[in-house]
Amino acid sequence: MDTALTQALRRIETLITREAESYADPQERLAEFRRRLERTRHLMAALGDPETALDLIHIGGTSGKGSTAMISEAVLQAAGLRVGTHTSPYLQTPLEKVRVDGLLIPADAAIQLADGVMEAVARLRAEQPELGSPHYAEAWLGMALRHFASQQCEVGVIEVGMGGRFDATNVVMPRVSVISTVHYDHVRVLGETLADIAFHKAGIIKPGVPVVAGRLLPEAMAVIEQEAERQGARLLRVGRDVHFEPRGLSEQGGRFDYHGLALELKDVEVALLGEHQIENAVTALTALEVYAEARRFRLDEQAIRQGLAAVRFAGRLEVMQRSPTVILDGAHNEEKFEALVAALRQIFRYDRLIMVLGMLETKTADPIVRRLASVADVIITTAPQVKGKPAIPANSLAVTAQQAGVEHAVANGPPLEALHRALKLAGPNDLVVVTGSLYLLGEVRSHWYSTADVVAQRSTFPSNPPQP
């Protein structure tokens, strides 16, 4: 990777310090959450308030928010709009956080923006030390929005990092907000009940701004409904205000009928794999209908079909090779693991299932490993290396798997070594699945796509990948 780019990215990485989530005392954590929003507003102001330069779609939720963002990007791009997309986390390079019309931010632009953002950070530290120093996520949000404004994007698709109410992205004022799902994740920070978690997700609902909610459990939906009423926001609910019928699943994607607000579409195909991606597509289409209504343009059926057929999302049931088939899937909470297990059963045929598993300490491993124990023949554990985010030790994860009943559960070394061990064990008709952490996927994905090629070609799917 270019030395200047590496140095620029490392400067931004210096902002990875103590996160609000690490505060044990709830009052201290809440105080830091509030400082985060305030300093993000000041940081945006120092950068010229780039969030006001374009229309925005703000997407939150426990699971599916990244896929919903990528589907929205693909359809908007097919409709002829210039689209900026900000997602997190990344797989192989932080440049994945900032995309315009599907292309990663160029290295030279990232270097220039990093310099500008770090100058603004230094000024904010000096002028308002009581707010604390801006963090990594806040800086990348500023870089993304500045880039979108400089590229004259018409619409920005912004994914929430964690929670919503106190997330750095919640300084934006969107045309439409989206809450894809509400389920158990980050419970130490967001709360141990669905109502607690929904409170955080509902925080992205803005006064008078329409909000789309995916199919939520009643306890969570009640909180979303109350917040929407309080904010005077029109609420559109998948399964109540819009409807769909799945028509089929395959290794090429899913097919469904869509009964939307104004659109009726038959036999629509989405290229992302799994029944859960049909629901994400429906949620995205509902949001795009609302957005088109607000912008007063016609959402063309051809653009919808073209965008859904073209969408790709690295690390989400991504098939990397055949014989043996290898899949990368960033399942890192119970809801996502249920979706993964369902997809494996519904779509793929194999003799043995070999899993490479690595998880961060912030995740609750026991219920996830117990679920995997019911389907996996072999589990090879490893530990992704992430700055500021310690992983569960591979040995501990292997013991958990053994206690859950996996006879062949072994701890291995670094992620690439664990992958190579799985490939060596696998026969041509076996299925290898790498899962548990998106950071783990980023490390092993270099077996097929080099990070240098991703950066140079500005694509998570560079051409001419090396053959394994």
Q: Would you state the pLDDT for residue 175?
A: 97
Q: Which of 369, 343, 347, 348 is nearest to 357 (CA)?
A: 369
**Of 388 and 133, more confident:** 133
Mean per-residue pLDDT of the chain:
93
Q: Would you state the pLDDT for residue 80?
A: 96
**What topology does CATH give the domain 3-310?**
UDP-N-acetylmuramoyl-L-alanine:D-glutamate ligase (3.40.1190)
pLDDT at 81 over 90: yes
Identify the band that residue 156 occupies on the pLDDT scale cut at 50, 70 and 90: very high
Report domain extents, the chain: 3-310, 318-457
Phi, then psi, of 260 in degrees rounded to 5? -95, -160
pLDDT tens for 38-48 read 999 999 999 99
Cα-based distances in Å from 257 to 212, 247, 303: 19, 7, 16
On the CB side of 98, CA atoms within 13 Å amount to 26
Q: Are 224 and 238 in contact (CB under 8 A)?
A: no
Q: The whole model's pTM is what?
A: 0.94
Is CATH 3.90.190.20 what the domain over 318-457 is classified as, yes or no?
yes
To 5 degrees, how large is the angle CA 436–CA 439–CA 440?
A: 55
Which range, of 7-21, 103-117, 189-203, 236-250, averages the lowest pLDDT?
A: 7-21
Q: Average pLDDT, stretch 357-376?
A: 85
pLDDT at 162 over 90: no
Residues in the chain: 468
* CB atoms inside a 10 Å sphere around CB 262: 9
Identify the band that residue 101 occupies on the pLDDT scale cut at 50, 70 and 90: very high
Is there a common fold for 3-310 and 318-457?
A: no
pLDDT at 202 over 70: yes
pLDDT at 315 over 60: yes
pLDDT at 363 over 70: no
Identify the band that residue 327 occupies on the pLDDT scale cut at 50, 70 and 90: very high
Q: Would you state the pLDDT for residue 335?
A: 81
